[in-house]
Amino acid sequence: MLKNNYGKTKKEIRKASGLSLSAFQDLGISPTTLSEFENGKRKLNFMKLTSCLSILKVPFDSFINLAEHHPIF
């Protein structure tokens, strides 16, 4: 398991936005890969993460702030 909240934070934002895992397939990210990232079992490279955040309309710095200062348990 990865020791950061990035995946969990992205998952909460995605769910709040009402998007499914398959909503990111056009970015070349399979639902399985995205699920593994959101559950802390896999890393997601910077470009793919920022592309996901773009779809979610969340600025990168805001995402990092949420992930690092407001842990999701």
Q: Please report, in tens digits, the pLDDT of each residue of the chain (73 residues total).
A: 556 789 999 999 999 999 999 999 999 999 999 999 999 999 999 999 999 999 999 999 999 999 988 765 5
Q: Which domains are delineated in the chain? A: 6-69 (1.10.260.40)
Predicted local confidence at residue 36, as pLDDT: 97
Which stretches of 1-73 are DSSP H helices? 6-17, 31-38, 46-56, 60-69
Rounded Cα distance between 19 and 61, Å, is: 21
- How far is the C-alpha of 43 from the C-alpha of 34, rounded, in Å? 9
